[in-house]
C-alpha cells in the first residue's frame, strides 16, 4: 500500500490554512499544523483526527520570530514523511503605504516573503534528492494588480508569484511540483486585521470554494492556479505577452527611443 505524504500547512489555525488541512485530511494525509494560536489548532486537530483517522501534529510558532521559524524549518528539512508544504501564512495591515510604519511594513515582508522562502529553501533540497514533493505557495491576484492599492501586500505577493514560477522551472524537471495559488478577495480574518469590512466588499469567495478550486489545480499540476479567473486564455495571453519581450531584453545598446532625443 502506498503511504500518502504528510502535509505541513502554515497559518493553519483558521481560514485558508485550516481549510487546506481539512481537505488534505479528507484525502487521508497526516498533517503538521503551524500557527500562533495553539487553542484553535488543537480544536481543529481533534476534529480532523476524529473525522478522518489521520495523525495531526501541532507546532505553535510565530513565523516572524527567527527562532520559532527555525523550528519549523528544521521540521520540514528533517522529517522525510512531509511531502507537501503549503505556505499559506500571510498578513496585511490597515492604511496606505505612507500610513503604515516601517515596523508594520517589515512585519508584512517578513511573514509573507522571508518565512515563505526560508521554508521552501529548507525543504527543497530534500524533495530534489527524493525526486518528489510539492510546494504550494499562496500568492494573490493583488500581486499582478498594483491598481488595487495594497502596495506592500501586493509587492510581497508578486514576490511569491515570481518565486513560484522560478522554482517550478528549476525544480519541476527534478520531480518537484510548485504551485502558486492566486486568490482574489476571500472570506478570511485577514480583512478585519487590515481594517476592512469583508461583508461590505463585492465578489468575496468563500474559503471552501477557494481551496477546492486550488486543489483541482493541484491535481492537474498547474503551475499557476487563479480560482476566480473565468477565462484561462487571459492568463495565457498575459504570459505570452511577457515572454514575447524576453528576446528584446538582451541588447548591447539602449533602445533607439532612448538615444534619439
Q: For residue range 18-43, list pLDDT tens digits in order.
A: 999 999 999 999 999 999 999 999 99
Does the pLDDT at position 242 exceed 60?
yes
pLDDT at 186: 80
Mean pLDDT across the stretch 220-240? Answer: 97
Does the pLDDT at position 2 exceed 80?
no
Where is pLDDT greater, at 135 or 204?
135
Whether 210 and 227 have beta carbons less than 8 Å apart is answered as yes
**pLDDT digits 0-9 by tens, 80-122:** 999 999 999 999 999 999 999 999 999 999 999 999 999 999 9
pLDDT at 194: 66
**pLDDT digits 0-9 by tens, 151-196:** 999 999 999 999 999 999 999 999 999 999 999 888 777 666 766 7
Count Cβ neighbours within 10 Å for each residue of 232-242 and write b for 16 or more, e otherwise. Answer: eeeeeeeeeee
d(CA 149, CA 152): 9
Query: pTM for the complete prediction?
Result: 0.94
pLDDT at 191: 62
The contacts of residue 39 (CB under 8 Å, 6+ apart) are none
In the numeric block, which cell numbers belong to residue 7? Answer: 502535509
The catalytic site residues sit at: 153
Domain boundaries, the chain: 6-232
Q: What is the mean pLDDT of the chain?
A: 94
Q: Which of 45, 32, 22 is nearest to 85 (CA)?
A: 32
Does the pLDDT at position 1 exceed 60?
no
pLDDT at 199: 75
Whether 20 and 12 have beta carbons less than 8 Å apart is answered as yes
CATH fold label, 6-232: Rossmann fold (3.40.50)
pLDDT at 152: 97
d(CA 201, CA 28): 35
d(CA 137, CA 140): 10
Q: What percentage of residues in the chain have a pLDDT greater than 70?
A: 96
Where is pLDDT greater, at 195 or 56?
56
Amino acid at each position: 500500500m502506498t503511504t500518502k505524504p504528510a502535509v505541513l500547512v502554515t497559518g493553519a489555525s483558521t481560514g485558508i490554512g485550516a481549510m487546506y488541512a481539512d481537505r488534505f485530511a479528507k484525502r487521508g494525509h497526516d498533517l503538521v499544523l503551524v500557527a500562533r494560536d495553539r487553542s484553535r489548532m488543537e480544536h481543529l486537530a481533534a476534529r480532523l483526527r476524529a473525522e478522518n483517522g489521520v495523525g495531526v501534529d501541532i507546532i505553535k510558532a510565530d513565523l516572524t520570530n527567527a527562532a520559532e521559524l527555525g523550528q519549523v524549518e528544521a521540521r520540514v528539512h528533517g522529517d522525510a514523511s512531509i511531502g507537501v508544504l503549503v505556505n499559506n501564512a500571510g498578513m496585511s495591515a490597515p492604511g496606505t503605504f505612507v500610513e503604515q510604519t516601517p515596523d508594520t511594513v517589515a512585519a508584512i515582508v517578513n511573514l509573507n516573503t522571508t518565512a515563505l522562502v526560508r521554508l521552501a529553501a529548507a525543504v527543497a533540497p530534500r524533495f530534489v534528492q527524493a525526486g518528489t514533493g510539492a510546494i504550494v505557495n499562496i500568492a494573490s491576484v493583488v500581486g499582478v494588480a498594483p491598481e488595487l492599492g495594497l502596495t506592500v501586500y501586493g509587492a510581497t505577493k508578486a514576490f511569491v508569484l515570481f518565486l513560484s514560477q522560478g522554482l517550478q522551472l528549476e525544480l519541476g524537471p527534478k520531480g518537484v511540483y510548485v504551485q502558486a495559488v492566486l486568490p482574489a478577495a476571500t472570506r478570511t480574518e485577514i480583512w478585519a486585521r487590515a481594517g476592512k469590512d469583508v461583508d461590505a466588499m463585492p465578489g468575496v469567495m468563500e474559503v471552501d470554494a477557494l481551496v477546492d478550486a486550488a486543489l483541482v489545480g493541484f491535481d492537474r499540476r498547474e503551475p499557476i492556479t487563479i480560482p476566480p479567473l473565468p477565462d484561462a486564455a487571459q492568463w495565457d495571453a498575459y504570459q505570452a505577452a511577457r515572454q514575447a519581450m524576453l528576446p528584446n531584453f538582451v541588447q548591447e545598446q539602449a533602445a533607439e527611443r532612448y538615444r534619439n532625443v
